[in-house]
Amino acid sequence: MIQRIDIAAMRALNWLKKQKPTTVKDISRSIQVLSLWNELAIQLIELLQSMRKDAFWETGTPLLDTARACSALAGCGMIQSDAIGWILGQQKYDNWNNNEIDTAYALIALGDSGVKNEAGCEWLFSSYGEKWEHVGTTALIITALLKQDRDRYAEFIKNRSNWIISKRESGGWNYIATSNLAFQALVLSGELIELESSVQWLLGKQNKDNWGDITLTALSLISLKLYLNKLI
């Protein structure tokens, strides 16, 4: 299995390094992958930083993209204090935009940057209910809580991890993006869950050397690296 992962990952990494990402989302994901796999990312880091306007990245989804950029750069040891301050300044009534996805991404970025935010975590935890009971959404919420306060929310994380597993079919969760979010949350949770079938499902979705586009390929490479780190 390890050899198969390595071969698939090397093909995908070679493909990814040939791409020319132009969006903050694609650039941030690419940086995350390259740093995880110990590949040089300096050109993409410089490009990402050049796209910032003052303390944030001004796009159609500034909160999400600023959060993604902060997480990617934090993974390279580059904490964006001013951008983190901007993210905190967008928090209203304990959350971000009264939206679970925005709040999860903000908390993930804060956690990656070493900043705890108890109010945001409590809002996610106390507000969680049937309307948010989707695999991708739940995976993002688990990831946010793991990065913020693993011990405090351990019971919730275990419960929701088991729920995610219950929704798995033939190793995956229908869509590549959703499957990667679910897989990454499960690996980060540290639960003793069988994930080899999900790895095989993901490898089976690879189209020669990629998973369809930059973001999907990056997410898949992140999942594979997290799994390899778990095995070692």
Cα 160 to Cα 170: distance, rounded to the nearest angstrom:
19
Q: What are the b/e assignments for 178-208, b being 16+ CB within 10 Å?
A: bbbbbbbbbbbbeeeeebeebbbbbbebbee
CATH class (in words) of the domain with range 2-231: mainly alpha
Arithmetic mean of pLDDT over the chain: 96
Domain ranges of the chain: 2-231
140-198 per-position pLDDT tens digit: 999 999 999 999 999 999 999 999 999 999 999 999 999 999 999 999 998 657 899 99
Angle subtended by helix axes 214-231 and 24-36, to nearest 10:
20
